[in-house]
């Protein structure tokens, strides 16, 4: 075994050990709850645009994109554009691919900033509900001819909406790639965290994932990524297509 293989073996063993480390998980969950209260995830930009993600999850997204090397990344939910610019910048490094961003409301100032960004050459945007029949037809046009496809879901976080997205967009995901469902940690938050939202405990992305997986055996939760991060907004949300 060479040094690189030894390093990777030790890393894998260390990450796997976290799954049984109750104390580490409890400390991390306390930190996550506290950081959510303080809107910590709103503190970061990617190449000048707010990304609104935990840094840990950004690292995971980077690893997934580098592993899959997709021809197309589909993202539902654009907000300020940091995530689609992040994805586009990764594809720029890889040297291929494009990003399709979908949002029901792309605000004018955000659209302007995204369209004027250096990475805009790899980005297309559509303003529409991500689950409308018309948008799925347009997505099918983008998908045509693409071999490797990766999907990030980060729009409306209700159970019904995310379940619809999972059913509609999972068919585009290539074997070995992922559909990543963000903010599944809503299920693990105290009720007061979602009191002004249409989602909460029992009605959120994680419950949608559970129902989706009970019906679709082409995907499984990649727990290795979750164990690696420990602190993540995506528990049970890294779904890998296995067949």
CATH number at residue 38: 3.40.50.150
For the stretch 145-203, pLDDT in tens is 999 999 999 999 999 999 999 999 999 999 999 999 999 999 998 888 787 889 999 99
pTM, two decimals, is: 0.96
CB proximity list for 135: less than 8 A, separation 6 or greater: 102, 126, 128, 129
What dihedral angle (degrees, nearest 10) is formed by the CA atoms of 53, 55, 242, 220?
Answer: -70
Q: For the chain, give the number of residues.
A: 243
User: 130 lies in which domain range?
Assistant: 3-241
Distance CA 152, CA 181 (A): 6
For the stretch 61-74, pLDDT in tens is 999 999 999 999 99
What is the DSSP secondary-structure string of 70-115? Answer: -SEEEEE--TTSHHHHHHHHHHHHHT--EEEEEES---HHHHHHHH
Number of domains comprising the chain: 1
């Amino acid at each position: 075994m060479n040094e690189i293989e030894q390093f990777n073996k030790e890393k894998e063993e260390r990450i796997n050990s976290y799954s049984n480390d109750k104390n580490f998980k409890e400390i991390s969950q306390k930190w996550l709850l506290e950081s959510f209260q303080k809107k910590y995830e709103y503190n970061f930009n990617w190449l000048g645009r707010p990304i609104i993600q935990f840094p840990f999850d950004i690292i995971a997204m980077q690893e997934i994109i580098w592993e899959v090397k997709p021809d197309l990344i589909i993202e539902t939910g654009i907000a300020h554009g940091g995530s689609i610019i992040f994805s586009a910048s990764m594809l720029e490094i890889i040297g291929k691919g494009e990003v399709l961003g979908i949002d029901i409301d792309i605000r004018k100032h955000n659209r302007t900033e995204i369209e004027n960004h250096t990475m805009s050459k790899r980005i297309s945007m559509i303003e529409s509900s991500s689950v409308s029949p018309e948008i799925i037809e347009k997505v099918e046009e983008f998908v045509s001819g693409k071999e490797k496809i990766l999907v990030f879901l980060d729009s409306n976080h209700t159970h019904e909406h995310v379940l619809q997205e999972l059913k509609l967009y999972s068919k585009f995901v290539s074997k070995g790639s992922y559909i990543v469902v963000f903010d599944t940690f809503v299920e693990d938050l105290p009720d007061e965290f979602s009191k002004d939202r249409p989602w909460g405990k029992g009605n959120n992305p994680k419950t949608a994932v559970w129902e989706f997986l009970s019906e679709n055996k082409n995907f499984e939760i990649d727990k290795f990524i979750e164990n690696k991060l420990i602190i993540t907004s995506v528990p049970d949300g890294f779904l890998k297509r296995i067949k």
